[in-house]
Structure 1
Amino acid sequence: MTADRRRYRVIVWGTGAVGSELIATVLDHPDEFEIVGARVYSEHKHGTDIGTLVGRESIGVRASIHVDAILATDADCVLYAPRITDLDDVCAILAAGKNVATTAFLFHPKRIAPDDRERLLEACRVGGTTVHGSGLNPGNISGVLPLALSGMSRTIERITLQERADWSVYESTSITFGAMGFGQPAERINVAENEFLAFNSGLFTEQVWFLSDELNAGIDEVTATVEAVPAQEDHRIFDHLLRAGTTAGQRWIWTGRRRGEPLIEIEVLWTVGGEYPGHWPTPEHGWTLTIEGDPSMRTHFFSLASFTRAVDIREHVRSASVATAMQVLNAVPAICAAPPGFATMATLPLIRSRVGFGNDTPEWGSVQ
């Protein structure tokens, strides 16, 4: 660690797939960050050493289910990564003097409910703190990457992002078959079916507005549509049986239109069981971003544990959680340096790896 770099004290709030990767990274790179607390949501994790939670050695700091205990812990930033956002908790964190980096929401604060926005801003004013939301998608792929590529544009006519993924390899079946609604009757898959689907749709709607507002699209509306497709046969997915006739595919499209013309579109093509509807578009697995304009551009992003080593499929699946976690962890220094209030993907400087190749060298131009 170079002399001009400080060590940041962080708390991880939520220890699921993304939260666990945050903890593991902090423990594996102690010169960059120090973990001083973790908020858990289950009694069986309460009181467990944080290192033990992620298969590392004990560090002498225990996870807690008690919000007050976490809020009383001195820290520079809270890495907020639960499945569903609790605005009361986030406001309490910010008012307690802790910055927040979150993968859960706030991808475009300008377009959230005005009352919620004012509550968050007031908490930032009280605590002198900053909050930033990012991740993978929504996040870097649907926010930072389009803005970065737009730097090579003279004019833009349309932006589309397609995500294709099969959830069969995702071990958290409680999310796949519970929150996401796979395995349920196709007619039940809609924005209003449950809290998670409504919340998730809202995040992508925000992301469309984000691109519109930052790139002067001037859209009038964002609509969300979904097509649910039933399975043709039974499939065993870990501990769950996906029965024929129940939902095995979901095609969601969030479209931003100006005077009826679609200008920005985010489409996700999600399946379980390996079946893929013949009438759906067939992009490569991963994310395909297309900018139609002068010039027109296309890039494809795909995350794996390795492109050269033989790696277990579970490691490949985990790589998306790593990418999501690192986008906010690497942003911590910039968040802590930002003025109180909202820091967005458009206002923060370029976020890059804090560790990189791991070969620590003096800053360019420094006097030794």
Structure 2
Amino acid sequence: MINVIQIGIGALGKQVLQYLADREGINVVGLVDLNPEMVGKSIGDIADTKNSGVTVQKSLADAINNAPEKPEVAVLTTVSSIEKLVGQVEGVAKAGLHVVSTCEELTFPWEQHPEAAQKIDDICKMNSVTCLGTGVNPGFLMDYLPSAFTSVCQRVDSVTVERVQDASVRRIPFQQKIGAALTHDEFQAKKEDGSLRHVGLPESVDLIAHAMGWNLDENRETLEPVIAKEKITNGYKPIEKGNPAGVEQVGSGFVNGDEKIKLVFRAAVGEEKSYDRITIKGLPNITTEIDGGLNGDVATCAITVNAVRSVTGSTPGLKTMLDVPVPAYFSKV
């Protein structure tokens, strides 16, 4: 049994908590959230599980002091920014807990955020704990999985991943994050201030490049709106014809001027077909497609839960998905 404290009980955090509570082999011994409306609620108030006496605390120290058993792992479902995460990891590491985080920028931060990555790595090594950033994307579908597929290749010339999603079935915060139902001016303003984007595409490019041993000349990212061809009514609010229904981002990695990595992330309300496709050019050529695509909410929560076992079996420091034991599903420990 692995004893877990979860920090951050927002929209994603609640689903992660449900998955943690459902899993044999995991025991949720503490909950932390800064929202005053959450503090004091029992686990049974938040998830469909029996009340165990575990309630939401306002600090990690309070959660540890009130835990019925000594925690081993902290699951952080808090922020997307690694800069904001450093202090959280420091507190958890000093308490002697391994870390699994859904922070997108943490999945492979060594190129994009080297100072923060080094701080986290140093903190974790000083306290003999492991820290891992994971999720479905980044963390699996557009980086770890294609890297794993190249295991059967004698030569790899290029890697292309396409993730196309009908966002109408995703959570409202996700639809809002991709700019669905904004005007063109609103979309452009959010694009410019960085609040409208899928976080983690450059990190996914870097992870693949690292796995391949490619030194990139450039890691380039573009972002454009997906325009509604007709009025759309199946999202969280109506989208008029001609307005943004979502976003298309492309991340590209270049070696000696050649595009070796291309990651296409397209998410929009009303997208005709959802799919995830990986294309590897080399020896042999490989193309694989997941029809319907992986549900991002389900997959992110599941891999976060499965990674709890992986961090307990790794070595101290900041790790990527390439470094830890495969976070396969488990029913018992």
**Equivalent residue, structure 2, for 1:40:** 33
| C-alpha spacing 1:71/1:91, structure 2 compared with 1 (3 Å) | farther
**Equivalent residue, structure 2, for 1:11:** 5
- Deviation (angstroms), 1:67: 4.6
Normalised by the length of structure 2, the TM-score is 0.87
Equivalent of 2:77, from 77, 81, 103?
Answer: 81
Equivalent of 1:252, from 234, 249, 253?
Answer: 249
Is 1:212 the equivalent of 2:188?
no
| C-alpha spacing 1:250/1:192, structure 2 compared with 1 (3 Å) | closer
Aligned 8 A contact 1:303 1:320 in 2? no
- Deviation (angstroms), 1:43: 2.7
**Equivalent residue, structure 2, for 1:265:** 262
Aligned 8 A contact 2:314 2:325 in 1? no
**Equivalent residue, structure 2, for 1:110:** 110
- Deviation (angstroms), 1:39: 2.3
| C-alpha spacing 1:117/1:207, structure 2 compared with 1 (3 Å) | same
User: Does the residue aligned with 1:342 lie in a helix, a strand or coil?
Assistant: strand
| C-alpha spacing 1:332/1:229, structure 2 compared with 1 (3 Å) | closer
| C-alpha spacing 1:29/1:226, structure 2 compared with 1 (3 Å) | closer
Deviations 1:64-89 (A, max 9, x none): 34354246554211111225343221
Aligned 8 A contact 1:18 1:322 in 2? no
User: Does the residue aligned with 2:99 lie in a helix, a strand or coil?
Assistant: strand
Deviations 1:199-224 (A, max 9, x none): x44x1101101111111222211111
- What stretches of structure 1 of length at least 5 have no aligned partner? 1-6, 277-283, 305-316, 361-368
User: Does the residue aligned with 2:96 lie in a helix, a strand or coil?
Assistant: coil
Is 1:181 the equivalent of 2:182?
no
Is 1:229 the equivalent of 2:226?
yes
**Equivalent residue, structure 2, for 1:152:** 152
Query: Percent identity at matched positions?
Result: 23
User: Does the residue aligned with 1:351 lie in a helix, a strand or coil?
Assistant: coil
**Equivalent residue, structure 1, for 2:93:** 94
User: Does the residue aligned with 1:136 lie in a helix, a strand or coil?
Assistant: coil
- Say which is worse superposed, 243-252 or 258-267, in terms of deviation: 243-252
Residue correspondence of structure 1 range 1-368 to structure 2 within 5 A? 7-30=1-24, 32-70=25-63, 74-85=70-81, 86-87=84-85, 88-105=87-104, 106-170=106-170, 172-177=171-176, 179-186=177-184, 188-189=187-188, 192-197=191-196, 200-201=198-199, 203-237=200-234, 240-272=237-269, 274=270, 285-302=274-291, 319-355=295-331
CA distance in 2, matches of 1:240, 1:353: 36
Structure with the greater alpha carbon radius of gyration: 1
The alignment yields a C-alpha RMSD, in angstroms, of: 2.6
| C-alpha spacing 1:238/1:65, structure 2 compared with 1 (3 Å) | farther
- What stretches of structure 2 of length at least 5 have no aligned partner? none
Deviations 1:110-155 (A, max 9, x none): 2242321222123213322110112212122123222221111010
CA distance in 1, matches of 2:325, 2:271: 41
